[in-house]
Structure 1
């Protein structure tokens, strides 16, 4: 098996899911006492969140680069950024290391293929929904169309990610609002919904909605496992 580098802590609520699913996946495929070899660099998320609020992506990128170099020095043979939003810096992170970055867009595309979807709804932070660091590679590399909620929906999703989900707060009323947003996007033609923040899958489950969900934690873990076990 190869050793995986993980940049986590953004937030740690979903990094826990990554860690469990990576180890569960190796055990299921290899059996016995096997688990996933990994080197993790887990950050203090508060400064990153503050820098996002200040649009200080230079500092964020520098922190991610330091983390990537750290896991490479620790023996990692591939790297994942265990969050969607931070893929805004993916190109610069990849340029700083000599190991492959397993990109979230590739994981999402594989998830879309698995459910036979060519038109995707995307939920996430405002950065993920309103900028093109995920939607562009999905369109250019895989021909996938991406739609997002209206302005009120985007504001609600962004706010609750930071105020609730990243703090471990799973609130029924918020779940209901997410379901309403998801069903509206589906009615507008989305064939599957990308839970494009790694905490959303903690709140909304496949049985809650009428449209297939692509949980980016699960999709990203699958991509990583295929590499680790290759």
Structure 2
């Protein structure tokens, strides 16, 4: 586990990384323990005043995190992304995310979501990418193809824009997958961080 200061902006941004942190969709409790440890380190060792996490699924614990570490203000990636889409007048929104995130209704109840079969494929795609992974599902299909097809399905179901509600999905889903805008939650978070430290 390391906390690194951004060399380009050393007095404003500290990045904490736990390479052993479990996937939120696989080990939720273990994920929160890691988040809490990192948040306290940012507060106690680096004097941070705000905290954010580049993982949509992890946002299920933001209320609890605010209670456990009330001194730090959280920058909520989900809320920032929804605000951006609403300001653009895009409704209804589609959602590509992990199965856990979809089931938690973290993004609200009004989202256009994939069919159960497609959602299972999306989860397989997410689990096929990342460090040491090939980005290929068990049946040989590439994750990018699965995610692009899922985006087209949401467009056909009426979505006027599609939220890429998972860090891995934002990385692997082609931006030209369909005819409606794809809104990467990580982009919204990046803008919010920039505004916070400006």
**Do Structure 1 and Structure 2 share a fold, with TM-score over 0.5?**
yes
Name the counterpart of 2:100: 127
Instruction: Tell me the CA shift for residue 70 of structure 1.
Output: 0.8
Determine helix, strand or coil for the equivalent of 2:93: strand
Check the 8 A contact 2:161/2:183 in 1, yes or no: yes
Name the counterpart of 1:198: 167
1:43-96 Cα offsets, whole Å, 9 max, x none, are 134x513x743xx53333222111111111212121101111111111111212
The answer to whether structure 1 residue 117 and structure 2 residue 82 are counterparts is no
The answer to whether structure 1 residue 67 and structure 2 residue 32 are counterparts is no
Determine helix, strand or coil for the equivalent of 1:146: coil
The answer to whether structure 1 residue 148 and structure 2 residue 113 are counterparts is yes
116 and 65 in structure 1: CA distance in 2 versus 1, 3 angstrom threshold = same
116 and 197 in structure 1: CA distance in 2 versus 1, 3 angstrom threshold = same
- Which of 122, 141, 146 matches 1:157? 122
- Which of 115, 129, 151 matches 1:182? 151
In structure 2, runs of 5+ residues without a counterpart are: none
34 and 64 in structure 1: CA distance in 2 versus 1, 3 angstrom threshold = closer
Whose helix proportion is higher, 1 or 2?
1
1:123-150 Cα offsets, whole Å, 9 max, x none, are 1111111112x223xx6xxxxx212111
- Which of 80, 84, 87 matches 2:52? 80
Check the 8 A contact 1:39/1:75 in 2, yes or no: no
Name the counterpart of 1:4: none
Find the aligned partners of 1:208 and 1:165 in 2 and give their Cα distance: 21
Check the 8 A contact 2:96/2:165 in 1, yes or no: yes
The answer to whether structure 1 residue 224 and structure 2 residue 193 are counterparts is yes
The answer to whether structure 1 residue 41 and structure 2 residue 12 are counterparts is no
Instruction: Tell me the CA shift for residue 222 of structure 1.
Output: 0.8
1:136-169 Cα offsets, whole Å, 9 max, x none, are 3xx6xxxxx2121111111111122122245464
- Aligned pairs, how many? 189
Q: Pairwise CA RMSD of aligned residues?
A: 2.7
Find the aligned partners of 1:212 and 1:167 in 2 and give their Cα distance: 30
Find the aligned partners of 1:166 and 1:100 in 2 and give their Cα distance: 30
Find the aligned partners of 2:176 and 2:13 in 1 and give their Cα distance: 32
Determine helix, strand or coil for the equivalent of 2:73: coil
Find the aligned partners of 1:147 and 1:71 in 2 and give their Cα distance: 36
Check the 8 A contact 1:121/1:147 in 2, yes or no: yes
192 and 61 in structure 1: CA distance in 2 versus 1, 3 angstrom threshold = same
